[in-house]
Amino acid sequence: MKEDLSSQAYWKATLALLTKIMIIWFLVSFGAGILFVDWFNKIQLGGYPLGFWFAQQGSIYIFIVLIFYYAKKMNDLDRQFDVHED
């Protein structure tokens, strides 16, 4: 029974992490690159409109950061729930 509660807590924490990452992914890719592009284009970054930058380069940088963040947080969760690999 205790193992069942631990596995439920592990999956709940994993799904919470994935939900946060997917929300950030959506806001950056769809929000900054499409929905709010007109508002972001009022700001310049390196001589280019920020909305254009997000759509072309910024979202890729954010996605790479999200990959490393996910790997780090999943390793932390695995160690916390003692399901890590040696």
pLDDT tens profile 30-72 = 888 788 888 988 999 888 888 888 888 888 999 999 999 999 9
Per the prediction, the chain carries an average pLDDT of 88
pLDDT value at 18 more than 80: yes
Instruction: Tell whether 86 is covered by a domain.
Output: no
Residue 83 makes CB contacts below 8 A (sequence gap 6+) with: 10
Q: How many domains does the chain have?
A: 1
Which domain, by its residues, includes 37? 2-80
Closest Cα partner for 67 from 34, 18, 12? 18
pTM of the shown model: 0.79
- What is the band of 2 on the pLDDT scale with cuts at 50, 70, 90? low
Instruction: Tell whether 23 is covered by a domain.
Output: yes
DSSP assignment of 45-66: ETTEEHHHHIIIIIHHHHHHHH
Over residues 70-83, mean pLDDT: 93
Instruction: Tell whether 85 is covered by a domain.
Output: no
Instruction: Tell whether 76 is covered by a domain.
Output: yes
The CA distances from residue 17 to 34, 55, 75, in Å, are 25, 24, 12
